[in-house]
Structure 1
Amino acid sequence: MKLQVIQDGQGKNTGVFIPINDWEILTQRYKDLKNLVSTEPPPKKKLSELAGTLSVETAEAMLNQVEESRSAWEERLKKQF
């Protein structure tokens, strides 16, 4: 069995990926496993339900990245024309 550990940006283990063939073997051997895990995707949310879920810090960091990218793009354009 070849498991893959999933880590976040800080290197903290956050999950495990189990190849589907191995998962099927495990769930055949241990029937209760299927009851613990939902393989159905979560219901889709409306865009309006996501309002306010982004932290101010993350929003500012994203905005700064966009502004830096835009400035770099504009500088490259000036050099081309």
Structure 2
Amino acid sequence: MDNTLLIEITNPKALGLLHELEELHLIKVLKNKPTQPKLSDKYRGVFTKEDAQSFNDHTQVMRNEWKNI
């Protein structure tokens, strides 16, 4: 079974419970966060070059408008 879950500890007592489960060989606590793909890799090829250029131009215009406020 190869199920990996990412959880957020909201109570310090939960960490103790996780370690107890690990000692019983029911789970394995991973120390490192799973790696996320870079956004540039994730969205590569989603836009055509023309759409990407149009989006980039529009973004630049919006940023310039904010600077002028």
TM-score (normalised: structure 2): 0.39
Q: Going by fraction, where is strand more abundant, 1 or 2?
A: 1
